[in-house]
Structure 1
Amino acid sequence: MATRSRHRRAARTVATPDGPRRRVPLRFVLPLLVLLALMAMLMLRGYVHSEILADHRVRPPAANDKVPAEILNGGPVLDARGGRTDSLTVPDRRLVLTFDDGPDPKWTPKVLDVLREHDAHAVFFVTGTMASRYPDLVRRMVAEGHEIGLHTFNHPDLSYQSKRRIDWELSQNQLAISGAAGIRTSLFRPPYSSFSGAMDNKSWPVTAYIGARGYITVVNNTDSEDWRRPGVDEIIERATPENGQGAIVLMHDSGGDRSQTVAALDRMLPDLKAEGYRFQNLTEALDAPSAHSPVTGLDLWKGKAWILLVQASEKITGVLVVGLAVIGSLVIGRFVLMLLLSALHARRVRRRDFRWGPPVTEPVSVLVPAYNEAKCIENTVRSLMASEHPVEIIVIDDGSTDGTARIVEAMGVPNVRVVRQLNAGKPAALNRGLANASHDIVVMMDGDTVFEPATVRELVQPFGDPRVGAVAGNAKVGNRDSLIGAWQHIEYVMGFNLDRRMYDVLRCMPTIPGAVGAFRKSALHRVGGMSDDTLAEDTDITMALHRDGWRVVYAENARAWTEAPETVQQLWSQRYRWSYGTMQAIWKHRRALVDRGPSGRFGRVGLPLVSLFMVLAPLLAPLIDVFLLYGVVFGPTQKTIVAWLGVLLIQATCAAYAFRLDREKMTHLISLPLQQVLYRQLMYVVLLQSWITALTGGRLRWQKLRRTGVVGAPPPGSATHEPALDGRPVA
């Protein structure tokens, strides 16, 4: 055993010249990689949707005294390559239709359909963002004989940008086109451009620089102004040049409702063709070599990889948005359900005339499984000695090596028996205690838990109803003075006990807590006793009792004070075991979904709710924080913060109501916002690790938490609802 432990320790270290260095545990690495991948997908999605690194400023006109006269007075095709200042004009009776800002998934196909129907070609100046998102439309443009031009990646006003940013806009735009259609293009149109005569001292240097990069700049000399949506007749009139002149016509296939553009094309193309016009792409109209050149080799694969990543980000982000909607609905729905049903439960059990049945006064057996509980066991036993209900106390020492059994025996108190066994685990210890129990009702508690004097009496009263087979008590965190303890205190009051009220009303309680629960011995015998099939024996036995037809209820006044983990590592170990054990129990009892009769209620209601709220929903919970971070950084910041505060307000309302029901001080809720940000992520990573363990077929052994014995027994006759810490009553 020692050899195996040394081997495990060695596996967690890496030898370095400076000595052994600890590896980052896999349980941290995998969830972190998942979160980083999700953030990367969101960042990529924001990038191609112009939410990140986009510049939407538009510069007003400036002076033009530094612009060459041949440019100001020339045609719409500007060639500044190699230091030239040439301009070209489209010959008469030739129209070059140009479409900006696409491709658009709705309007571009309609435009392409009209062009194909009338055997017309055009030039599409596409943005890199849209080409990356809709590469199939770019491929269709090329396949149908149209030309592609660059319109930058994010559509900024380039006169505001540095040369480095201009190069980046061009290269990213080319990358998108290369990946979509396997081509490069030498045509470029600046965003917010118009006629060549509108060139000024700010835009001309950009055009000259882009020419030096090998591009021909194409503006226009006929603006349809279709973006204004002035009507089909007006668009046709503006797009038709006078006296049979040739023209480059500016139109749009994206950026809004383009139904008027499509209708205008459908009328204009046959009418102008009848007048002798030809609708060609730019190089056809100028009788010039094609503006397209094929892309091969590494550049082609870079483009394809880019398109693949963008498409993946679109799909994954879509799934994340759906997941966010689902988790948001689940969170709000669960809170509403808990509030309504918890109020109903409290109103029912707090009525003056409420009775479970005849009072239960006969003695009960209290089983205390203990493994190395030397620091806690005396407080546990002393709390039971102060019980207002007659009890038989059975401490089952499960092979302790710290003298736990000797401590109990040395106390020399009546009605306390110690049963020793070799270390076999908690389920075996409970079954051993069950075999030694003298009474039909047995109470089970942990060796680190203390009961209030009234706890046993309150816990067993529901057995006055012969249909009740088990009762869940009210487990509370005793060591709540630390931040981790306070977070667990909130979780216990809000997440566990409020849940139990809800499940009690729905008659599908999923778990009798190991810290405080009671059972009919006959009911346990009918389902085969405690099982070691799962790491959550309390959840396993509760589900088995439901399936056997027994009713399981919650006793709010049966309070038990337990010592919660005080370090992140201990908390991790405990919740990992709980999460994985719950998954095991759900899988073990999956056939409850098809159980018939009254016992099938748990399968129809309880099992789906447990799977949804305890396994699936927590796995999606980080999406709230991921989208919060994204929205705060990249916008819309105000709406994002308001939405997150709204969710937090709902949680705070629910938590405050839970604290009020349990008569707890509200001061601990001060740490609720921090708990929602940090604690939830820890629980997410734990649950993700449990999923990984389950999917890979791994096995997890029961892990013993280190106890401090800080939670002491309540003083006899004390009216406080809180335990003693280190023997001192809590104020």
Structure 2
Amino acid sequence: MRNPRSHWLLMGAMMLVLASMLLLGGVLDHQVGAEGGGGPHTPLGAAGVPPSVSQGGPVVDTRSGAERSLSAQPGKVALTFDDGPDPRWTPQVLAVLAKYHVPATFFVIGAHVAQNPGIVHDEVASGSQVGIHTFTHDDLGTAPDWRRNLEFSQTQSVIAGAAGISTPLLRPPYSSEPDALDRLDWGAVQDAGKHGYLVVLTDRDSEDWRREGVQKILDASIPAAPASGAENGHDPKDQKNPKGAAAAPPPGFVLMMHDGGGDRSETVAALDQLIPALQARGYTFDTVSGAVGAPSPLAPAGSTARWKGAALIAAVQVSVAAVRWIGWAVLASGVVGGIRVVVLLFAARRHKKRRARPWGPPVRRPVSVIVPAYNEEAGIRATVESLSASRHPIEIIVVDDGSTDGTSAVVEDLIRHRRPGEPPLRLIRQANGGKPAALNTGAAAARGDLLVMMDGDTVFEPETIAWLVQPFADPSVGAVSGNAKVGNRKGILGRWQHIEYVVGFNLERRMYDLAGCMPTVPGAVGAFRREALARVGGVSDDTLAEDTDLTMAVIRDGWRAVYEERAIAWTEAPSSLRQFWRQRYRWCYGTLQAMWKHRGSVLRRGSEGKLGRRGLTYMLLFQVLMPLLAPVVDVFAIYGLLFNDAARVGAVWLAFLAVQVLIALYAFRLDKERPTALWTLPLQQVVYRQLMYLVVIHSLVTAVVGTRLRWQRMQRYGSFGTPAAGQQRI
């Protein structure tokens, strides 16, 4: 079947959307050129900054190309708040302002506006003004031109979407009094003027960002009393009126405070005392434009700007929610994965101790071995010869399922040259009907009551069958899974599959055995009681995973399916990525079919209920849902490297890898395998794992759209021969 490219287009589009949301989330979390890059510049002096600006008022206008400074009118105070809106502190600030019927000017961060648009609407509705404080609190003095443009435009856009207005007021992050401007700051101020912005600095900094207490904020915010002089401990520069002019209004000023960026409880408490204290000294409060005697510069935003702003707000909110939920999902997957590791290791250790005890009286009766074969010319000789060396009495039945190569000729040659003492070998030819049909044909012709089923690319060790049938000493056992190992493991793909077989498949089979919910007796090495096979109607062709389907059916009929790790079989794994993909695609798709077919077992009792509630739940979680989350985890990891603490993310990945190595070492020890292949494990985590979850995603999409997948047969090369007893291949 030709792979449906639309699946990949859909997945690519989804991943692009996810990456875009995470990128936007990184910007919103102040991780891209944000607060880490701000702060005081290297001292450059005020060279290049006109004295009329550095020694002038806090409002700087360069929009016409010439610079001029504006100061607050006598007796006027412009309260300004930076770094909001904050969902906790800004409403409290607004409540204090409303209590005293005082307006203010809020210099908002665009990212915060997008997350809290309703608060900005309330600020404007209360009579206050808003100005921009950039989108990400970036340092405009060091930002390139394109970044400044983005900071201006995006903040302006979300303000239009939130409050329906446009504003020319701008306060650069990390700014203070005019005399603190350096050359970089002045360049940013001039550039802001070219974009039509009126830059608002400050006369007084409340220093509430220091969080040194309410009194410290009040001391920094309230000018010296008009009747006081230096002898009373006040700074004479705060005393600007001529001596004796007590009736004149006090000098006006712009005061910088903060309603976001951290805990602002001290700011709110200080504000509640500051307003009446200043009013008692004759001050009145106004917005920045009102304080300097200018009309309000706010204007209604056009409909296009409002729609654009609303779209940006929606994108930001979706991004924030996505980052939050992905973070929780990644955390949950880590916790669940950790629990899985503990359960697997505990089950493996307990299973090993349990298997040290005999199953019962030795099983020595003859066994029928069924080998379905379709175009297995390359490997069928090794398969039959390995069976011929078996130390358990058997008969061998090869069912040629309509092969178009020389499979039958090879088997016939083996029949003609049988040596004395070798087990009987029969060849059955039939028209191509698929593997289930071939297995059923072999079962019908078999003489024994114990049936061993294997693939035509697999070889057994001399003791394999003897170990495989011993569990039938227990009359409740209806199916036995053997221990399949990768024979062709010299290439890196072979090593990866070798690790997967030992660590993944066999560890899980030990757990399934203990839990009484073994979902799959593999086609490469499995045995069934004839009675169990007959009671479920033989091997079904309803799914592409006939081994999983058959095992589930046997368990639902009341039989036990167990795992015997000493029954070792060597199988030929795919040697190319294309073959690997086709094989795993078929396996995964067939497993999904089997899970759906046997979903009713979830509501049953006994062994059937164990299969449903334990086996199917585990498979759904770790073979379906977790692989679906895996791409998200990987993209989130890249997001963490780019926008968070890369060292911490790297440490987490190394810790994860270390856990994987320890699990693999234990699994290899259980299987008596040399751990030489584990040097490929780190690369497996960043290549092989991605292939596996892509297979799952592709299979799920195929199942959802209802596509019927054909049998995907792997090309055989006969890449290994018959092993001696106990031989370990490398």
TM-score, length-scaled by structure 1: 0.91
Instruction: Kindly indicate whether residue 364 of structure 2 is the aligned counterpart of residue 355 of structure 1.
Output: no
- After superposing the two structures, state which structure 1 stretch, 239-248 or 679-688, moved more: 239-248
Match of 2:534 in 1: 525
Give, in whole Å, the separation in 1 of the partners of 2:202 and 2:379. Answer: 85
Which residue of 1, 5, 16 corresponds with 1:36? 16
Question: Residue 159 of structure 2 aligns with which residue?
Answer: 177
1:251 has 2:257 as partner: yes
Matched residues in 1 for 2:114 and 2:144: separation?
24
Counterpart of 2:51 in structure 1 is 69
Cα deviation for residue 270 of structure 1 reads 4.9
5+ residue gaps, structure 1: 1-7, 13-23, 723-729
How far apart are 1:150 and its partner, in Å? 1.4
Listed as ranges, the matches of 1:551-566 within 5 Å are 551-566=560-575
Q: Which residue of structure 2 lines up, in the alignment, with residue 88 of structure 1? A: 70
- What is the identity percentage for the equivalent residue pairs of Structure 1 and Structure 2? 51
Deviations 1:47-68 (A, max 9, x none): 2222124433530444235433
Aligned to 1:692: 701
Greater shift after overlay, 164-173 or 213-222?
164-173
Counterpart-to-counterpart distance in 2, 1:58 and 1:703: 65
How far did 1:554 drift? 0.6
CA drift at 1:266? 2.9
Q: Which moved more, 1:583-592 or 1:682-691?
A: 583-592
Pair 1:303 & 2:334 matched: no
Cα distance in structure 2, aligned partners of 1:433 and 1:65 = 95
CA distance in structure 2 between the aligned counterparts of 1:411 and 1:65, rounded to whole angstroms: 97
| 1: CA distance, partners of 2:505 / 2:465 | 20
Out of 113, 126, 129, which is 2:95 matched to?
113
Deviates more, 1:467-476 or 1:609-618: 609-618
Deviation by residue 1:686-714 (Cα, 9 ceiling, x = unmatched): 11111111222222111111111113223
In structure 1, the partner of 2:634 is 625
In the TM superposition, residue 277 of structure 1 has moved relative to its aligned partner by 4.3
Aligned to 2:125: 143
Paired with 2:364 and 2:576, the residues of 1 have a C-alpha distance of 41
8 Å Cα contact 1:332-1:650 kept in structure 2: no
Contact 1:57-1:156 at 8 Å conserved across structures: no
1:344 CA drift (Å): 1.3
1:720 deviation in Å?
4.2
Secondary structure of 2:612's aligned partner: helix
Aligned equivalents of 1:466, 1:282: Cα separation in 2 = 90
Give CA-to-partner distance per residue, 1:417-449, whole Å, 9 cap, x none: 222222221122212222222111111111111
Residue 566 of structure 2 aligns with an amino acid whose one-letter code is N
Which amino acid counterpart does residue 186 of structure 1 have in structure 2? Answer: P
Is it true that 1:418 corresponds to 2:424 in the alignment? no
Q: Which residue in the other structure is 2:686 paired with?
A: 677
1:377 aligns with 2:380: yes
The one of 25, 50, 54 aligned to 2:30: 50
Q: In the alignment, what sits opposite 1:232? A: 214
Equivalent residue for 2:370, pick from 367, 372, 386: 367
Residue pair 1:323, 1:623 contacting (<8 A) in 2 also:
no
Other-structure match for 1:515: 524
In 2, Cα distance between the equivalents of 1:552 and 1:719? 25
Contact 1:179 1:301 in 2 (8 A): yes
Task: Assess, with a 3 A threshold, how the Cα gap between structure 1 residues 710 and 66 changes in structure 2: closer, same or farther.
Answer: closer
- 1:191 matched to which residue of 2? 173
CA contact (8 A) 2:33 2:138 kept: no
Alignment of 1:243-282 (within 5 A): 243=226, 244-270=250-276, 272-273=278-279, 277-282=283-288
Q: Pick which of 111-120 and 435-444 moved more.
A: 111-120
Alignment of 1:221-620 (within 5 A): 221-241=203-223, 242-243=225-226, 244-270=250-276, 272-273=278-279, 277-350=283-356, 354-412=357-415, 413=418, 415-620=424-629
Amino acid at match of 1:580: Y
Deviates more, 1:424-433 or 1:139-148: 139-148
Residue 229 of structure 1: CA displacement? 1.7
Task: Name the SS of the counterpart of 2:141 in structure 1.
Answer: helix
Q: Cα distance 1:31–1:83, how it changes in 2: closer, same or farther (>3 A)? A: closer
Q: AA paired with 2:403?
A: S
Query: Kindly tell me: are residues 27 and 202 of structure 1, through their superposed partners in 2, closer, same or farther at Cα, counting changes over 3 Å?
Result: closer
The CA deviation at 1:527 is 2.0
CA RMSD, 1 decimal: 2.2
Letter in structure 2 aligned against 1:279: F
**Further displaced range: 163-172 or 368-377:** 163-172
Of 407-416 and 527-536, more deviation after overlay is shown by: 407-416
- State the SS of the aligned residue for 2:378: coil
Distance across 1 between alignment mates of 2:691 and 2:511:
25
User: What is the deviation of 1:366?
Assistant: 0.9
Question: For the structure 1 residues 415 and 355, does the alpha-carbon distance in structure 2 shift closer, same or farther, using more than 3 Å as the test?
Answer: same
In 2, Cα distance between the equivalents of 1:188 and 1:161? 16
How far has the Cα of 1:314 moved from its partner?
A: 1.4
Cα offsets for 1:618-659 (capped at 9, x unmatched): 222234432333333444111111100000000010011111
Deviates more, 1:528-537 or 1:26-35: 26-35
User: Is the 2:516–2:607 Cα contact (8 Å) retained in structure 1?
Assistant: no
- Structure 1's 344 and 73: CA in aligned 2 closer, same or farther, altered over 3 A? same
1:28: Cα distance to partner?
4.0
Contact 1:43 1:52 in 2 (8 A): no
1:392 deviation in Å?
A: 1.6
One-letter amino acid matched to 1:655: A
Which deviates more, 660-669 or 401-410? 401-410
Q: Distance in 2 between matches of 1:695 and 1:137?
A: 43
Separation of aligned partners in 2, 1:451 and 1:674: 31
Read off the aligned partner of 2:649 and give its amino acid letter: T
Alpha-carbon displacement from aligned partner over 1:315-345 (angstroms, at most 9, x marks no partner): 2222221221122122222222111110111
Q: In the TM superposition, what is the alpha-carbon distance from 1:273 to its structure 2 partner?
A: 4.8
Preserved contact between residue 76 and residue 252 of structure 2 (Cα < 8 Å): yes
Deviation of the 1:164 alpha carbon: 4.0
2:58 aligned partner, one-letter code: P
SS of equivalent to 1:256? coil
Contact 1:450/1:711 (CA < 8 Å) preserved in 2? no
Between 386-395 and 612-621, report the one with greater CA deviation. 612-621
* Cα distance between partner residues in 2 of 1:157 and 1:446: 67
| Aligned-pair CA distance for 1:201 | 4.0
Structure 2 unmatched runs, 5+: 227-249
CA distance in 2, matches of 1:373, 1:66: 84
Q: Does 115-124 or 699-708 show the bigger shift?
A: 115-124
For 2:127 and 2:445, how far apart are their aligned partners in 1? 89
**SS state at 1:100 partner:** strand
Give 3-state SS (helix, strand or coil) of 1:158's partner: coil
CA contact (8 A) 1:365 1:437 kept: yes
Shift of 1:553: 0.8
Provide closer, same or farther for how the CA distance between residues 430 and 140 of structure 1 changes in structure 2, counting only shifts above 3 A: farther
In 2: Cα distance, 1:409 partner to 1:125 partner = 89
Give the C-alpha shift of residue 669 in structure 1.
0.5
Paired AA for residue 160 in structure 1: T
Query: Mean alpha-carbon deviation: is it higher for 111-120 or for 256-265?
Result: 111-120
**Displacement of 1:122 after TM fit?**
1.4
Give the secondary-structure state (helix, strand or coil) at the position aligned to 1:712: coil
**Aligned amino acid, residue 132 of structure 1:** A
